Structure 1
Amino acid sequence: MAHDHDHAHHHAHHHGDLDWAAMAPHLEAEAELYTPLYERALAWLGRKQTEPGLIVDAGSGPGVISALLADAFPGARVVAVDAAEPLLERARERAERRGVADRFSTLAGELPPILDDLDYPADLIWAGNSLHHLGDQRAALTAFAGRLAPGGTLALVEGGLPVRFLPRDIGIGRPGLQARLDAAQADWFAEMRAGLPGTVDVPEDWPHLLASAGLRPTGTRSFLLDVPPPATDRARSCLVTTLTRVREACADRLDATDTATLDRLLDPDDRAGLLHRRDVFFLTARTVHTAARIDAPR
């Protein structure tokens, strides 16, 4: 699963395409699974970042990372920004449960234009796997940069390593299933990008793109999530839900043997399925690129 992420994990780029209220529990569970990874990323970011006054979580989804940002920077106000109101409702509920509602708010609308509705420039913008759902990524980065206060930081989460969850040979189907899933998803992702409004193809050299947006790149680091076998129930559940969506999106890109193997892996009653196997694990990495605004406000 090469492109899964925190909000539109499965690459739905038109918000009307999905029932976000129905998807919200899975999106929350998956983001919670990734919490140790993001806690390490935010600790690294905190060592580079002076205490921010305003943090924006751009493409926040149900607000799991928004809440982690509030924890990591206890003096900051956090604004969760997303186009899906059902997910922002979950974000507000989470902030209430975690006792940070007094410095937490939400903003509903499409990125990047909705950022113009912020009360004042942000000291930190966290864009977690949301940029690649915007057709003109270079223009979007320039818009993000324009909403930063002087000295503010943009933390861009793009790239990393695909999720690995089974050995190469799993005893059913043809060995190497995950490599073929990666290839099918890469094709799907390219098609998704090509279909976005105003798509502009750019090499995914994120530090260069950040610099072209008028920012000064300040670092890139990847963070690992390693759940060894046998995987936890939470990891297995997330894998089943995510792999179900992968099968739906990529069935026409896989041969009959691989789709039959996926069906067995997803069958809750099959002893060879993900819910029962002892060799299931969860291994992935996310890459964070940071850049600072050093010019005067426009």
Structure 2
Amino acid sequence: MSHPSPHTAHHVHEHEHEHGAGDHSEILDLDAEVLAEHIASITAWLPVGTGPRRIVDLGCGTGAGSLALLDRFPGAEVTAVDVSAAHLRRLSAKADAAGAGGRLRVVQADLDATAWPGLGTPELVWASASMHHMSDPDRTLRQVHDLLAPGGLFAVVELAGFPRFLPAGAPKEAPGLEERCHAVLDHHHAEQVPHRGADWGTKLTEAGFTVEGERTVTVDIGQAHTDAVGRYALGGLRRMRVRAASALTSEDLTALDQLLDIDGPHSVLRRTDLGVRTERTVWAARRT
């Protein structure tokens, strides 16, 4: 991975552009805010019995998963691992603000390394939108297997892609624009992120886990316009423009730039018909 922060909770991929590192952190925070209910539903679904005492969040980003896990398991301590020092500082500040800073430990590390720093012996390991970024995910799965306490659980959460925000037929100047942008990104990701969409159930079994459950969470927040949804859509469309620009027609680019012009009449921030549509799949795998 060539990104400054490859192992983050909700990867958006395009943070080398002018809205780069800071905006990437904001997108992660907005993702956590807008989709908090869905993240909580995943943590509530995990087959963990009385609850783990020690949790590791691999590729924590700015902490959507870590904070949800701290909330879900009030008796647990979470070790959050990420390659980005800036993301870890942001997470620490949020945990302190929530009164959970004493139960959070942050560790800066590259998860592609063959040897990881000491992460204890957790009963639960959480990896949200990070596994498909590993250069050798099969090795990473074996590392997680060896890290877990016997009988411990590994939760792998993967995304179906970055959310869609615009309604069908929008914008009227270029109907279907968002889908065309996603098609370009899908082609890019197929080349640059080959493990996206992998058969994680099979990979987990091959790594020695027993898969106890698989669940797909459908996110469909219809026309629930809030400032957070608008800013989330703005950040996502900005990133799509970076990757898709060379493959779009001049008409599509013009329409996209109108959406991104926050002072213009067609700004995505002015729309009241935005939604959030995506899917996330979680696998719960036991070390037996």
TM-score of the pair, normalised by structure 2: 0.88
CA distance in 1, matches of 2:23, 2:260: 20
* Residue matched to 1:292: 286
| 1:270 positional shift | 3.0
Aligned match of 2:235 in 241, 248, 271? 241
| 1:209 positional shift | 0.7
CA distance in 1, matches of 2:21, 2:238: 16
**Structure 1 residues 35 and 227: CA distance shift in structure 2, 3 A:** same
Q: Residue 25 of structure 2 aligns to which amino acid in structure 1?
A: A
SS at match of 1:116: coil
Q: CA RMSD in A?
A: 2.6
CA distance in 1, matches of 2:229, 2:95: 24
* Residue matched to 2:221: 227
| 1:257 positional shift | 1.9
Aligned match of 1:281 in 275, 279, 286? 275
SS at match of 1:39: helix
SS at match of 1:217: strand
* Residue matched to 2:44: 43
Q: Mark the runs of 5 or more structure 2 residues left unpaired by the alignment.
A: 1-6
**CA deviation digits over 1:187-244, x for unaligned, max 9?**
11123226xxxxxx69711110110111001111122333321511110111101210
* Structure 1 residues 10-49: aligned runs within 5 Å: 10-11=12-13, 20-21=21-22, 23-45=24-46, 47-49=47-49
Q: Residue 89 of structure 2 aligns to which amino acid in structure 1?
A: E
SS at match of 1:51: coil
* Residue matched to 1:197: none
| 1:120 positional shift | 2.2
The total of aligned residue pairs comes to 281
Q: Residue 212 of structure 1 aligns to which amino acid in structure 2?
A: E
SS at match of 1:106: strand
Q: Which moved more, 1:27-36 or 1:86-95?
A: 27-36
* Residue matched to 2:4: none
**Structure 1 residues 10 and 166: CA distance shift in structure 2, 3 A:** same
* Residue matched to 2:11: 9
| 1:88 positional shift | 0.4
SS at match of 1:156: strand
CA distance in 1, matches of 2:24, 2:204: 32
**CA deviation digits over 1:155-191, x for unaligned, max 9?**
1011336522222212533322222122111111123
**Structure 1 residues 51 and 114: CA distance shift in structure 2, 3 A:** farther
Does the 8 A contact of 1:10 with 1:246 survive in 2?
no
Q: Residue 235 of structure 2 aligns to which amino acid in structure 1?
A: T
SS at match of 2:150: strand
Does the 8 A contact of 1:112 with 1:144 survive in 2?
no
Q: Mark the runs of 5 or more structure 1 residues left unpaired by the alignment.
A: 195-200
| 1:48 positional shift | 4.1
* Residue matched to 1:268: 262
* Residue matched to 2:139: 139
* Structure 1 residues 121-270: aligned runs within 5 Å: 121-160=121-160, 163-193=163-193, 204-270=198-264
SS at match of 1:164: coil
Does the 8 A contact of 2:216 with 2:280 survive in 1?
yes
Identical counterparts, % of pairs: 33
CA distance in 1, matches of 2:44, 2:13: 28
CA distance in 2, matches of 1:233, 1:272: 16
CA distance in 2, matches of 1:134, 1:18: 25
| 1:22 positional shift | 5.6
Does the 8 A contact of 1:13 with 1:133 survive in 2?
no
CA distance in 2, matches of 1:228, 1:267: 23
